[in-house]
Chains A and B, each alone.
Chain A
Amino acid sequence: RKEVEQDPGPFNVPEGATVAFNCTYSNSASQSFFWYRQDCRKEPKLLMSVYSSGNEDGRFTAQLNRASQYISLLIRDSKLSDSATYLCVVNDGSFQKLVFGTGTRLLVSP
């Protein structure tokens, strides 16, 4: 079983749609949780950290459920520029080592 599991997609949605990605992690000792965005042949870039209380940044909302070891990302009012791969990332409990999911690919069409 992978440490971080994501649906690889792709998710094909029209502009303006709302789309949700989910992720599960296996290491209950994980302490920090993130969503990274990766464009084709580019480096991963931090989109947002994820907190138990949930957090929102503009059109993006992230949620963490520690009991279920489940993380989600909601994107509202999708833009063409949101097309990318979204990586669910957790630390391994030691804080400094990140464990990546394989990513979920999002394609937003006109």
Chain B
Amino acid sequence: EAGVTQFPSHSVIEKGQTVTLRCDPISGHDNLYWYRRVMGKEIKFLLHFVKESKQDESGMPNNRFLAERTGGTYSTLKVQPAELEDSGVYFCASSQDSTIYFGEGSWLTVV
């Protein structure tokens, strides 16, 4: 069974550009989460989807970040415009019960 997959695995963009990260959860998982870890900090929650609905987006840092999960399957996280402090690793995770599985992350570098 495929795990949580994320694309791209690495991305380097210039400040002011747009980046879209994609996450494919484990098939059948209704819950999808985005987390991120910026340099030197702990992993922090961004938001949680249940199917296509945003259950909790309290961790989204500002309105430059937009997450979608149309159709309740894969999700995208768009950063527009990107700032230097957005550099870090963005993890997607999914679950159907209490066990949450993480993807390998999308490493974003904003220069």
B69 to chain A: closest CB distance in Å? 15
The complex places the Cα of A102 from the Cα of B44 at a distance, in Å, of: 10
Evaluate contact between B102 and A45: CB separation under 8 angstroms: yes
- For A26-67 the 0/1 string (1 means CB < 8 A from B) is 000000100000000111111000000000000000000000
Do the beta carbons of B102 and A44 come within 8 Å of each other? yes
Q: Is A25 an interface residue (CB 8 A)?
A: no
A46 surroundings in chain B (CB, below 8 A): 99-101
Contacts of A102 in B (CB 8 A): 41-42
Which A residues touch B103, using CB under 8 A? 43
Q: What is the CA–CA distance of A2 and B48 in the complex, to the nearest angstrom?
A: 21
Residues of B within 8 Å of A, CB-based: how many?
25
A106 within 8 A of B: no
Most A-side CB within 10 Å, residue of B59, B99, B100, B105? B100
Q: Which of B11-38 contact A (CB under 8 A)?
A: 31, 33, 35
B56 closest partner in A (C-beta): A97
> A91 to chain B: closest CB distance in Å?
9
A5 to chain B minimum Cβ distance, whole angstroms, is 10
B42 touches A101 (CB 8 A): yes
Tell whether, in the assembled complex, residue A94 and residue B45 are in contact, meaning their CB atoms are under 8 Å apart.
Answer: no
Q: With the chains together, A16 CA to B95 CA distance in Å?
A: 35
With both chains docked as a complex, state the minimum distance between the C-beta of A99 and any C-beta of chain B, in angstroms.
7
**Does B55 belong to the interface (CB within 8 Å)?**
yes
CB<8 Å pairs between A and B, sample of 30: A2-B42, A32-B98, A41-B107, A42-B104, A43-B4, A43-B91, A43-B102, A43-B103, A43-B104, A43-B105, A44-B43, A46-B99, A46-B100, A46-B101, A87-B43, A94-B56, A96-B31, A96-B33, A96-B95, A97-B56, A97-B59, A98-B33, A98-B35, A98-B45, A99-B45, A100-B35, A100-B43, A101-B42, A102-B41, A103-B42
